[in-house]
Structure formats: C-alpha cells, structure tokens
Amino acid sequence: MLKVKKIFSTFVGVAMAANAFITMPISGFADEETSHTYTYDGYEVSYDVTNAWGNTEVVSVTLSNTGDSTIENWMLYFEPNGQVHSTVNVQEAQTSAGTTYFRNSGYNANINPDSSVSFCYMVDDCEAVPDNFTLCQTREEKESGYEVSLKVNQTWGDSFNGEIIIQNNTDKPIESWELTVDTNFTIKYDLSDTGIELCVNAFKKYLKDTLGVEIK
C-alpha cells in the first residue's frame, strides 16, 4: 500500500436567493427604518424587513463578498433579537456551548468575489435589529479522525487510474475539505468533482493522446 503524507483541512463554526414568503403589506414601521447595511472588511450584509403583521416580521438577509477571494462554507453569527422560525436558504445551528448561529444550506456554501447569497426567516417579538454580523467559519488542519487510502483501479505501463478515498471516523461531517498529498507519482487528471461519465471520457482522451488508442 502506498504511503500518503496528508495535510487535511476543513471548516468549523466557532460560535441563503430567496423570496419564498407570500408578500403582505408592511405595517407598523412608519417611524422605523426597515433596511440596514453593515460593512466589514471583505464582506457586506444587508438586512431588510420585507413584511410584517402582528408580532411577526419577515427578514431578508443578503451576504455579499466584497473581497478578492471566495468565501467558503460561510457561517454567520448575529443576534436576531427574537424567536426565529421558517428559515429559507439557511440553517440555524448551535455550537457545543449553545451559541446559535446561521450557516449555509450546502448548495449556497461558497460566495465568489462580487457575488452574494440571500436567505430569509420569520422572527416573532423582535425587539431590535441586529447590532452586528460576524462571519464565524474558520479553517483548521485535522491531525486525526480520518483515514486516507489509495485504491488502484487499472494499470498500464507505468501509469494507473485510481481513487483517493477519505474515510471520516468521527460522528461529525467534514466540510469543504482540502487534501494535500505527498506522492511518488504525478496526478495528470483530477476527477474528484466529476461523475462516472466524465471519468470515462477523460480516460479515453488519455489513451488517445498518449497511446494513440481510440475507444468509441
């Protein structure tokens, strides 16, 4: 078995484009601002009360990337100052210490520069708008809790195709992972983000380009 030196990093939390709610007239805000913008280094948050009735408000939050690099696996901490329910495009989560924060829904995990994601929620008995918003994800290197193995599927000459398999041995998901490997071979095609069909097509291309063998 090939020994692979590995450096593994993932995102953890330290502490959604949505217009899914049926519109209703905003009431009770004649003397209050319903839109607020919070500007920080590398990101901006827009907070908008889009609807309200009784003691319930519908809030839309837009997180914009104003920096030069992608915001990965975003998690946002803020105090909603009320009882949150009916979330759209976001997940409400808690740390082991009981701190509530809001995190992406998976499909909207990354925000490219000059792009944004939006999410909505309802809040009952909201006492005030949030004082601030904080991106609370951070990347850490993992030294344990997982195993990495190499499975060789096919060999020809001094080449082979195979799979690098990451086994999570903990009860928590490993998210937005990056794996650095030190090997005695060169990886020519990285197929980790593609499906079986693309894998087959890439293999056919490799055979044609290197060996002159064309497979229909």
Are residues 132 and 30 part of one domain?
A: yes
Tell which of 107, 139, 171 closes a domain: 139
pTM greater than 0.75 = no
The answer to the question of residue 47 being in a domain is yes
* pLDDT score for 203: 63
Tell which of 106, 139, 172 closes a domain: 139
Are residues 115 and 24 part of one domain?
A: yes
The answer to the question of residue 56 being in a domain is yes
* pLDDT score for 19: 35
CA angle 39, 45, 49 (to 5 degrees): 125
Beta strands in the chain (DSSP E): 5-13, 35-40, 43-53, 56-65, 75-77, 83-88, 91-94, 100-103, 116-124, 134-135, 137-142, 146-156, 159-168, 178-182
Are residues 148 and 75 part of one domain?
A: no
The answer to the question of residue 49 being in a domain is yes
The answer to the question of residue 187 being in a domain is yes
Are residues 134 and 56 part of one domain?
A: yes
* pLDDT score for 56: 95
* pLDDT score for 181: 73
Are residues 157 and 121 part of one domain?
A: no
Are residues 122 and 168 part of one domain?
A: no
The answer to the question of residue 33 being in a domain is yes
Are residues 119 and 37 part of one domain?
A: yes
Are residues 24 and 102 part of one domain?
A: yes
* pLDDT score for 92: 93
CA angle 74, 23, 94 (to 5 degrees): 30
Nearest C-alpha neighbor of 147 from the set 167, 165, 133, 164: 167
The answer to the question of residue 216 being in a domain is no
Tell which of 109, 139, 169 closes a domain: 139
* pLDDT score for 96: 77
- Across the chain, which has 216 residues, the per-10-residue mean pLDDT values are 43 39 37 83 96 95 96 93 95 86 92 96 95 80 77 82 81 66 71 54 68 69
* pLDDT score for 197: 58
State how many domains the chain has: 2
* pLDDT score for 216: 62
Residues 6+ apart with CB under 8 A from 89: 16, 17, 18, 105, 108, 117, 118, 119, 120
**For the domain that residue 124 is a member of, what is the CATH number?**
2.60.40.290
Are residues 160 and 91 part of one domain?
A: no
Are residues 51 and 16 part of one domain?
A: yes
Domain that includes residue 39, residue range: 11-139
Are residues 23 and 38 part of one domain?
A: yes
Are residues 204 and 129 part of one domain?
A: no
